[in-house]
Amino acid sequence: MIRERARTGIKGLDEMLDGGLLVGRPYIVSGTSGTGKSTLAMHFLLEGAANGERALYVAIDEPPNEVRLNFAKFGWNLDGVSVLDGTPDVLNYDKTPVRDVSSERKIVSLGKVGDAIRRTSEKGPTDVTVSTLQELIKQEFKERKYARVVIDSLTSLKHFYIRTSEEFATLQSFFRTLSDLGATSILTVHVPEVTRPGIESQLSRGEIRLHKWFDGRGLMRGITVEKYRGSSHDSRMRHMKIAQTGIVVPVSDGGKRKKKGDADSERTPERPTPDDKKAEPPLPPPPENGEVDIPPSQSAGRTGSAVDPKGDGGGPQ
Ligand SMILES: Nc1ncnc2c1ncn2[C@@H]1O[C@H](COP(=O)(O)OP(=O)(O)OP(=O)(O)O)[C@@H](O)[C@H]1O
Ligand SMILES: [Mg+2]
């Protein structure tokens, strides 16, 4: 059965995902701090917006004005992405019955968010629950359906729990709500240096893991697809770069040749020459004690077709 795919907007990653994410399902993007989770998530929303889809960014880690400023450096037009301020103080400040909140709240265009730092609630975030946000998103979907949703980050959202004994059931309900709403969603998850798959990974339909580590060439980045239910995928690590215009993951040199003028093609050579090979040695395994948590096997192949991970994404960042 052929399912519709939601492209992430990062060509090499879409290739790893056999065309993109399966529509209407929740996925997680995980990695240590600064690996590019938020940036990848915004690529995904911008790709949807560019194709006329409604895209919603739920800001939990940082208020929308800071998010806009963070992404301004990539020169992206964020007008097509809507933002819901889900930072704890705002949720808490509005913690009146959700039906009241929904009539007052406004989802605004991220590109039009002002620079002013909004006030902070006097209350702490301890009264806020995942359910608050879940209900809020449901209410918003009654007004308007979104094809793509990003929750950035699920890790911060989890900190709003009062009782950790309810964590699994609450998270399960949250994932189910996102599925029921029909949106393809990405939830970002911050992981510590050494980690095992968590509840989020278990509940999601797939996990994209971002890696970074240092070697003789400086800061290196990599990307793996750790899990993808219902689809084949590339199980090897590819290089990744965060360049001036965003994330670049090289595409394989077989089959899908890019058109001239394509933004990514400027940075990803078609087929490495012997000189390229000299300049870009194969991706070295991340050190055991480095910033990469689960060094993926370099020898594993694709669960489907073979893909060459070589490209120009391997230079220091
Ligand atoms: N213009 C740029 N050129 C190169 N690298 C950049 C550029 N802008 C940002 N970066 C890199 O991207 C990183 C931040 O990416 P991002 O915010 O997406 O990471 P994150 O995984 O969401 O981090 P966190 O866990 O803190 O939320 C920075 O630490 C920096 O290394
Ligand atoms: Mg982030």
Which residue puts its alpha carbon closest to atom 1 of ligand 1? 244
Asked whether residue 180 is assigned to any structural domain, the reply reads yes
> Considering only CA atoms, which of 140, 48, 163 is closest in space to residue 85?
140
Give the confidence band of 168 by pLDDT, cuts at 50, 70, 90: confident
Asked whether residue 177 is assigned to any structural domain, the reply reads yes
| pTM to 2 decimal places | 0.78
Give the confidence band of 253 by pLDDT, cuts at 50, 70, 90: low
Q: Give dist(CA 127, CA 85) in Å, integer.
A: 17
Asked whether residue 243 is assigned to any structural domain, the reply reads no
Sequence length of the chain is: 317
Q: Give dist(CA 141, CA 144) in Å, integer.
A: 5
pLDDT, greater one: 243 or 267: 243
Domain carrying residue 102: 26-204
CB 236 within 8 A of CB 307: yes
Which residue puts its alpha carbon closest to atom 14 of ligand 1? 34
Asked whether residue 65 is assigned to any structural domain, the reply reads yes
The full DSSP string for 31-69 is: ESTTSSHHHHHHHHHHHHHHTT--EEEEESSS-HHHHHH
Q: How far is the CA of 278 from the centre of ligand 1 (A)?
A: 28
The confidence score (pLDDT) of residue 138 equals: 92
Q: Give dist(CA 129, CA 132) in Å, integer.
A: 5
Average pLDDT, the chain: 76
Give the confidence band of 83 by pLDDT, cuts at 50, 70, 90: very high
Give Cα separations from 220 to 125, 144, 183, 290, 313 (angstroms). Answer: 36, 41, 33, 11, 9
Which residue puts its alpha carbon closest to atom 29 of ligand 1? 34
Q: Give dist(CA 120, CA 90) in Å, integer.
A: 7
Asked whether residue 137 is assigned to any structural domain, the reply reads yes
Would the pLDDT of 260 be above 90?
A: no
Would the pLDDT of 118 be above 70?
A: no
The confidence score (pLDDT) of residue 262 equals: 40
173-177, 209-213, 271-275: which has the minimum mean pLDDT? 271-275
> Considering only CA atoms, which of 117, 108, 110 is closest in space to residue 140?
108
What does the pLDDT look like over 289-314, one tens digit per residue? 434 433 444 434 455 433 333 334 44
The 8-class DSSP code of residue 251 comes to P
Asked whether residue 223 is assigned to any structural domain, the reply reads no
For position 176, which CATH number holds? 3.40.50.300
Give Cα separations from 136 to 30, 102, 108, 222 (angstroms). Answer: 24, 7, 15, 35
The confidence score (pLDDT) of residue 316 equals: 52
Asked whether residue 193 is assigned to any structural domain, the reply reads yes
Asked whether residue 274 is assigned to any structural domain, the reply reads no
* Interval 256-267 mean pLDDT: 39
The confidence score (pLDDT) of residue 76 equals: 94
At what angle are helices 64-72 and 37-50 packed, to 10 degrees?
Answer: 90
Give the confidence band of 286 by pLDDT, cuts at 50, 70, 90: low
The 8-class DSSP code of residue 112 comes to G
The confidence score (pLDDT) of residue 132 equals: 81
The confidence score (pLDDT) of residue 120 equals: 42
Number of domains in the chain: 1
Pocket probe for ligand 1: among 39, 87, 245, the residue whose CB has the most ligand atoms within 8 Å is 39
